Amino acid sequence: MLKKNILITGGAGFIGSHVVRLFVNKYPDYHIFNIDKLTYAGNLKNITDIENATNYTFIKADIVDANQINELFAKHQFTDVIHLAAESHVDRSITNPIDFVMTNVVGTVNLLNAAKSLSPTLSKGEGVFYHVSTDEVYGSLNDGGFFLETTPYDPQSPYSASKASSDHFVRAYHNTYKLRVVLSNCSNNYGPNQFPEKLVPLFINNIGNNKPLPVYGKGENVRDWLYVVDHARAIDDVFHKGKIGETYNIGGFNEWTNIDLIKVICKAMDKKLGRTEGESERLITYVTDRAGHDLRYAIDANKIMKELGWQPSLQFEEGIEKTIDWYLANQEWMNEITSGNYQNYYEAMYANR
Ligand code: NAD
Ligand code: DAU
């Protein structure tokens, strides 16, 4: 059997960096190739701890560029793919949908084509092409219930429409070309290294800086939150044990209205910063709702729990505490993002390698 040369896309992003770290450390016999375009969301400072590992290679490349992707497949002989690279922020998809079509749809199809014809394993009915996707493809649960793997797709935002489209292409390549694919659809992640445009890091940072906390609408929308390291562990399980052609929903059975979650963060921040109780909550500012804002997401994660034996390792209270502690202890990481300096790291560290 060929040694595994695993291509992980989007490994400088939030979830991808946790997946790359887990695979590099846990599987010294695999070689992990991290391909990332380093958009605004890509930050090599997320993975400085593994950047010199002998089983790790970083390559700056754009999955939308088919020629570049084909050359990399030919050169490095990727045996498997774990595909996370995407435009991931719903608000940005509302103002600029085309970037989402290009990266999330065209980029995914470029990877499928390269895997189908240029991978030494995937081209021969071996290996795994794993597409990491989102629960948002199922739409909004306005009348109760949970998302199952069989729930019909009903994407409501340009972001979720692009992820639904890429999921369909992945399944189409399995059906048409017998490409060995697996998929997972996960709920909202939180934890270290998340770009501060998303609710949890944005609000932790704003509280620290006494800035307003912009709550969309009435704050009554419900999200199902999972600690990012538990998502990475689930991805490890699906990659190694998932049935080819199947989909696994991933979530923590952990629903919160936005306003309740925000109040938990505010209370914890008051304690950590030595403020009087209620001080951070006074920063809450209700603003115009997100266009087409999905009311509720909730994952039924029984399939992955029963069939693959995955369980979240952290209770929410512990996860949010760890998350807040991480952002408070890594103020430099946040400052580099707000100043834009994080984007110079590639030139400084990699350009001459
Ligand atoms: P992120 O925005 O933090 O990271 C995305 C990464 O992809 C960045 O490093 C970026 O540079 C890279 N990238 C973007 N366009 C690229 C391109 N054209 N070529 C190569 N690299 C490119 O995203 P995330 O939150 O870590 O999400 C990762 C994946 O997980 C996405 O596919 C997303 O849809 C999915 N997902 C995210 C969540 C969540 O809560 N964040 C939940 C479920 C699923
Ligand atoms: O469900 C999985 C999805 O979770 C992923 O596929 C996406 O990539 C990820 O970004 C996330 O999408 P959301 O839109 O749910 O995450 P976000 O952090 O942007 O918002 C969480 C909720 O908080 C949502 O209901 C909108 C609200 N919100 C968000 C921001 C940024 C606010 O009220 N104010 C804000 O400033």
Ligand number nearest to the C-alpha of 337: 1
286 catalytic? Reply is: no
300 pLDDT more than 80: yes
pTM: 0.98
Q: How many Å lie between the centroid of ligand 1 and the Cα of residue 266?
A: 27
> Is 72 a domain residue?
yes
> 211: alpha, beta or left, given left = phi > 0 and alpha = psi -120 to 50?
beta
Whole-number pLDDT of residue 116: 98
- Ligand 1, atom 5: closest residue by C-alpha: 13
Structural domain count of the chain: 1
What are 119-156's pLDDT values in tens digits?
999 999 999 999 999 999 999 999 999 999 999 999 99
Cα(171)–Cα(130) distance, integer angstroms: 11
Are 270 and 236 in contact by the 8 Å Cβ rule? The answer is no
Sequence-distant (≥ 6) Cβ neighbours of residue 201 within 8 angstroms? 194, 195, 327, 334
Angle at 85 between CA 230 and CA 219, to 5 degrees: 60
Residue 278 placed within a domain: no
* CATH number of the domain within which 135 lies: 3.40.50.720
Cα 178 to Cα 123: distance, rounded to the nearest angstrom? 9
* pLDDT tens figures, 168-212: 999 999 999 999 999 999 999 999 999 999 999 999 999 999 999
* 329 within domain boundaries: no
Model pLDDT, residue 2: 72
Average pLDDT over residues 284-313: 98
Domain, as residue range, for 159? 5-190+225-254+292-315
89 residue type, one letter = H
Q: What is the pLDDT of residues 147-157, one digit of tens each?
A: 999 999 999 99
276 lies in some domain? no
Strands in 228-343 per DSSP E: 247-250, 255-257, 284-287
In a domain, 46, yes or no: yes
Considering only CA atoms, which residue is closest to atom 1 of ligand 1?
13
Ligand 1 centre to CA of 277 (Å) is: 36
Residue 174 lies in a domain: yes
Give domain status of residue 38, yes or no: yes
Best of 87, 258, 283, 293 to mutate for ligand 2, by most ligand atoms within 8 A of CB? 258
Three-state secondary structure call for residue 353: coil
Q: Which of 56, 130, 138, 159 is catalytic?
A: 159
Distance from Cα 139 to the centre of ligand 1, integer Å: 19
Percent of the chain with pLDDT over 90: 97
- Tell me how far the alpha carbon of residue 239 is from its chain's centroid: 15
Q: What is the pLDDT of residue 41?
A: 98
| Residue 344 counted as domain residue | no
Residue among 18, 38, 62, 88 to mutate when testing ligand 1 (max atoms within 8 A of CB): 88
Quick one: pLDDT at residue 1? Answer: 65
Report how far ligand 1's centroid is from the alpha carbon of 274 (Å): 35
Distance (Å, whole) CA 302 – CA 51: 36
